[in-house]
């Protein structure tokens, strides 16, 4: 599908090397029509379209929810579109972006509860309870670090359903309420610098440190050494 746009929420910051290499990977491996940046546009970007936002939400989750709503409301953004973060890399050529999920929310929740707490876990639980209330007793999680195909009307309904939650897991709310199904995979986020990560998957995601200083970052940078059409090039 070459008629779908990629939509990327971007936080403030002029460098963002992860975004630079994500764009290289998408141009090489993920068919799409164009790229929309929502939020902040680094000066080195070229050939993208831009939706400016005020990133003054109480949390980063509120900022990305604002970005999602604006993308869904913009008449020139394709419907559907691909929602991708700036740290998501596609490592092998795809014909189309598949719909992927992470398995039941209860399993993801148990894994997070063993090693973390805070707003994200609370939002996961509150989103799960919201979906149970809508008649989905064992909802799937779509909180993967891979691009997600999004239909505008369905996502706006999901955002409205979760408007009272401080940390809505909007990918999950969208996927469950619209019954998009999909294939189960493990999450592809690499949190560490070491060499032990799955190199067979067509998808990778990084933290700033693992990208800059880890083996996974070196693998990504060596895979995509050439600038994309989305970067200004020195003459």
- pLDDT tens digit sequence for 159-182: 999 999 999 999 999 999 999 999
Looking at the domain assignment, is residue 1 inside a domain? no
Looking at the domain assignment, is residue 235 inside a domain? no
Looking at the domain assignment, is residue 46 inside a domain? yes
Instruction: Enumerate the H helices of the chain as residue ranges.
Output: 17-29, 60-73, 105-113, 119-133, 152-161, 170-177, 208-213, 215-223
CATH number of the CATH domain containing 63: 3.90.550
Looking at the domain assignment, is residue 208 inside a domain? yes
Question: In this predicted structure, what is the pLDDT of residue 185?
Answer: 97
Q: How many whole angstroms separate alpha carbon 84 and alpha carbon 81?
A: 10
216, 206 contact by CB (below 8 A): yes
Which residues form the domain of 43?
6-223
22, 87 contact by CB (below 8 A): yes
Q: How many whole angstroms separate alpha carbon 217 and alpha carbon 193?
A: 8
- pLDDT tens digit sequence for 87-125: 999 999 999 999 999 999 999 999 988 887 799 999 999
Helices (H) and strands (E) in the chain, counts: 8, 10
Looking at the domain assignment, is residue 234 inside a domain? no
Nearest to residue 167, comparing CAs of 37, 64, 38? 64
Looking at the domain assignment, is residue 118 inside a domain? yes
Q: How many whole angstroms separate alpha carbon 44 and alpha carbon 47?
A: 10
150: left (phi over 0), alpha (psi -120 to 50) or beta: beta
pLDDT of the chain, 235 residues: tens digit per residue = 579 999 999 988 767 999 999 999 999 999 999 999 999 999 999 999 999 998 776 678 889 999 999 999 999 999 999 999 999 999 999 999 999 999 999 999 999 888 877 999 999 999 999 999 999 999 999 999 999 999 999 999 999 999 999 999 999 999 999 999 999 999 999 999 999 999 999 999 999 999 999 999 999 999 999 999 999 875 4
Residue 53 is given by DSSP the state -
Looking at the domain assignment, is residue 229 inside a domain? no
Structurally, the chain folds into a number of domains equal to 1
Looking at the domain assignment, is residue 233 inside a domain? no
Token pair in block for residue 222: 């060596």
């Amino acid at each position: 599908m070459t008629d779908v746009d990629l939509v990327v929420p971007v936080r403030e910051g002029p460098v963002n090397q992860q975004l630079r290499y994500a764009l290289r990977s998408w141009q090489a491996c993920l068919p799409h029509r164009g790229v929309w940046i929502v939020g902040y546009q680094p000066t080195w970007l070229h050939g993208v379209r831009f939706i400016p936002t005020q990133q003054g939400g109480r949390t980063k989750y509120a900022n990305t929810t604002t970005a999602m709503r604006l993308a869904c409301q913009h008449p020139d953004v394709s419907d559907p579109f691909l929602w991708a973060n700036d740290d998501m890399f596609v490592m092998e050529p795809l014909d189309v972006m598949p719909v992927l999920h992470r398995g039941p929310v209860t399993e993801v929740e148990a894994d997070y509860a063993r090693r973390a707490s805070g707003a994200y876990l609370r939002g996961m639980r509150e989103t799960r309870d919201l979906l149970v209330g809508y008649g989905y007793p064992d909802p799937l999680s779509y909180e993967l670090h891979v691009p997600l195909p999004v239909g505008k009307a369905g996502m706006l309904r999901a955002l409205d359903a979760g408007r009272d939650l401080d940390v809505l897991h909007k990918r999950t709310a969208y996927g469950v309420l619209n019954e998009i199904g999909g294939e189960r995979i493990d999450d592809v986020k690499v949190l560490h610098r070491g060499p032990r990560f799955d190199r067979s998957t067509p998808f990778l995601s990084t933290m700033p440190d693992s990208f800059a200083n880890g083996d996974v970052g070196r693998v990504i940078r060596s895979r995509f050494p050439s600038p994309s059409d989305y970067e200004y090039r020195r003459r």
